[in-house]
Structure 1
Amino acid sequence: MNDIVVFLGPTLSRQEARRALDAHFLPPVSQGDIISVANENPRAIGIIDGYFQLVPAVWHKEILYALDKGIPVVGAASMGALRAAELDAFGMVGVGRIYQWYRSGFLEADDEVAVIHSPFEIGHHPLSEAMVNIRATLDLAVRNIELSKESAIALLEACAATPYWERSFDRLLADGKKLGLSASELKALERCERVDQKRRDALEMLERMAQGPATGVDTPDFRFNRTSKFDRLVEQDTCLARDGDTRITISVLADFYRLHGHRLFPGADSFALAQAGGRANEVVDALRLEGRLDTVLGQAVACDQSDGLRPCEGDDRAVLERYCRQAGLGLDQTATELGQAIGLHDSERFIERLHRFTFRSP
């Protein structure tokens, strides 16, 4: 891959981002994503947004892995600023005011950059306001002598006590009224210039990367130690395909094949390995050797009911009965027994995968 890859979500629209940098833009980064991208050897990786609550967050070790491969990694604005402040000593490049706030220790709380937002299909539109934006807005109001420092501090304390998904400028104004701010300060707060610091930092990062991906400090000489835990991450969470926020990882594909391989390649050695409970990466390697990986992966993408942000749920009994009829399995078995029969020994994961994948014939 010769592209620059940037993980982007609610901080900045893709249209605006593309005007600043010619890059391949992916949804917010999550666990396993940097490994997947680094294995394609891009010219550089940029991190702006990342998942952290509903989806496992990107590991620091993944970024170290990319740096060890000689791939520049740049971060700003949100998850990128956090990880850059934590890993700049190892060569990750941080950009922008928010990164500097974290790097200096002025900020410590992760939720300063957190927001809720819409899914990929409607543009990851932010539905709450990041506290760093509120902080930058209040700072400007104080500098412009529109708001006293004491009032700004009181408002920030109220904002910090508010769950990140409820933060907004409307909520800030309501807090100001509760705190007893004067009429002039309330009016100034309502009319003051709102600073989107995350957007500013993101654009600064993209413009810097456009000048040259390697811009920044040289990667220090450090030894990347592969651990058994990191190897498990590689073997299970390497991403094989994407559809918006939805990811098909190695482990997900192996589970899909366990569920529906009887319809695709019932006599294949790879399917026998899957049903025997073989490791996910071994099942995928077997499919690749047989030349069947693309077919199975395409079917998994076509059947996937997930939006990538939460488990698929529904009537467990109904989905079990439907699957048993399709697979020719006895209806008198428990979910644990059914899962074990196809090599999926975690009954909760078995049920979630049944809800997630509804088979469609090729």
Structure 2
Amino acid sequence: MKVIFVGPSLPDARRFVAEDMIIRPPATQGDVRLAVDEGARAIGLIDGAFEYVAPVWHKEILYGLSKGVAIFGAASMGALRAAECHTFGMTGIGEIFKAYAAETLVDDADVALLHGPEELGYVAITIPMVNVDATLARCCADGLVSDREARWLKEIARSLFFKVRSWNTIVRNCPQISNTRTEELLRILNNNYVDQKKADAIALIEALRRSDGRSPPPSFVLNQTSLWSDG
């Protein structure tokens, strides 16, 4: 059995998963352990809830790894946990994971966005900072946005709370951008949008598809504590 926790990073995940993959909503604390105890041999962690509930605990990831379960992380909460746990055997996938692992990114909020509920397909309402960075990088490479403009826009984007960050709020709050350039920039950014979270989520699903559900023997001992027991 393969279990994948996914939501707003890839709302249409069912288009990409294999028949042996079970889709579950964004993980909260205890969900990874439950999947392990239910017999999952491979787990893909993409999305996880965090604001109003306890997030996925590192200890439950280590628990799964100690049981020989292959655990992959990418795109969002999965990229964060993989960057923190890859030295213990968790497999990180994608550009966002690489940036956190290299400490090019350090702010957990860079993957956060405001989105609708599962019933409405997790529709994105705001833009995560990682997608801002990826979009501006592409636009600069294609000569559509200057390096200076990209720097200005990144500074504004990073200053905005993730629940209000959109191209409109970013561009219109940038004092260096002229009124005549504003509409052109909005068109460029919307037409050349890079959804890095989606790309990394798809890459994780492909890795999960290829996984035989076995991970190397753990290189650590999972200690029992007053807050954690395998029993």
TM-score (normalizing by structure 2): 0.91
Q: Which residue of 2 aligns with 1:307?
A: none
Give secondary structure in 2 for the equivalent of 1:12: coil
Amino acid at match of 1:198: K
Runs of 4+ with >3 A deviation: 181-186, 217-220
Give secondary structure in 2 for the equivalent of 1:166: coil
Q: Which residue of 1 aligns with 2:209?
A: 210
Q: Distance in 2 between matches of 1:54 and 1:149?
A: 38
Q: Which residue of 2 aligns with 1:173?
A: 171
**Residue from 16, 19, 32 that aligns with 1:19:** 16
Q: Which residue of 2 aligns with 1:29?
A: 27
* Alpha-carbon distance, 1:20 to partner: 3.6
1:73 maps to 2:68? no
* Alpha-carbon distance, 1:180 to partner: 2.5
* Alpha-carbon distance, 1:148 to partner: 1.6
Aligned in 2, Cα 1:219/1:199: closer, same or farther, shift over 3 Å?
farther
Unaligned runs of 5+ in 1: 236-362
Aligned in 2, Cα 1:169/1:200: closer, same or farther, shift over 3 Å?
same
- 1:40-59 aligned within 5 A: 40-59=38-57
Q: Distance in 2 between matches of 1:20 and 1:33?
A: 19
Q: Distance in 1 between matches of 2:151 and 2:213?
A: 39
Aligned in 2, Cα 1:185/1:126: closer, same or farther, shift over 3 Å?
closer
Q: Which residue of 2 aligns with 1:319?
A: none
Q: Deviations over 1:167-221 (max 9, x none)?
A: 1122222134x33258457514522400000000000110121122558x73541
Aligned in 2, Cα 1:182/1:28: closer, same or farther, shift over 3 Å?
same
Q: Deviations over 1:127-181 (max 9, x none)?
A: 21111011100111111111121221121111111001111122222134x3325
Q: Which residue of 1 aligns with 2:195?
A: 196
Q: Distance in 1 between matches of 2:200 and 2:67?
A: 26
Q: Which residue of 2 aligns with 1:85?
A: 83
1:187 maps to 2:187? no
CA contact (8 A) 1:89 1:220 kept: no
Give secondary structure in 1 for the equivalent of 2:64: helix
Q: Distance in 2 between matches of 1:63 and 1:145?
A: 43
Aligned in 2, Cα 1:104/1:214: closer, same or farther, shift over 3 Å?
farther
Q: Distance in 2 between matches of 1:94 and 1:181?
A: 41
Larger Rg: 1
Amino acid at match of 1:222: F
Q: Which residue of 2 aligns with 1:141?
A: 139
Amino acid at match of 2:184: K
The structure in which a higher percent of residues are helix is 1
Give secondary structure in 2 for the equivalent of 1:105: coil
- 1:93-108 aligned within 5 A: 93-108=91-106
Q: Distance in 2 between matches of 1:21 and 1:80?
A: 19
Give secondary structure in 1 for the equivalent of 2:35: helix
Q: Distance in 1 between matches of 2:193 and 2:119?
A: 27
Q: Deviations over 1:87-109 (max 9, x none)?
A: 00000000000001101110000
Q: Distance in 2 between matches of 1:147 and 1:189?
A: 11
* Alpha-carbon distance, 1:37 to partner: 1.0
Q: Which residue of 2 aligns with 1:301?
A: none
Q: Distance in 2 between matches of 1:175 and 1:10?
A: 26
CA contact (8 A) 1:76 1:205 kept: yes
Amino acid at match of 2:84: E
TM-score (normalizing by structure 1): 0.59
Give secondary structure in 1 for the equivalent of 2:73: strand
- 1:188-267 aligned within 5 A: 188-192=185-189, 193-214=192-213, 218=216, 220-231=218-229
Give secondary structure in 1 for the equivalent of 2:28: coil
Q: Which has the higher contact order (CA 8 A, sep 6+)?
A: 2
Q: Distance in 2 between matches of 1:159 and 1:130?
A: 9
Amino acid at match of 2:156: A
Amino acid at match of 2:157: C
Q: Distance in 1 between matches of 2:36 and 2:200?
A: 24
Identity %: 37
Q: Which residue of 2 aligns with 1:254?
A: none
Q: Distance in 1 between matches of 2:143 and 2:182?
A: 10
Amino acid at match of 2:109: D
CA contact (8 A) 2:140 2:147 kept: yes
Amino acid at match of 2:34: S
Aligned in 2, Cα 1:9/1:213: closer, same or farther, shift over 3 Å?
farther
Q: Distance in 2 between matches of 1:182 and 1:118?
A: 32
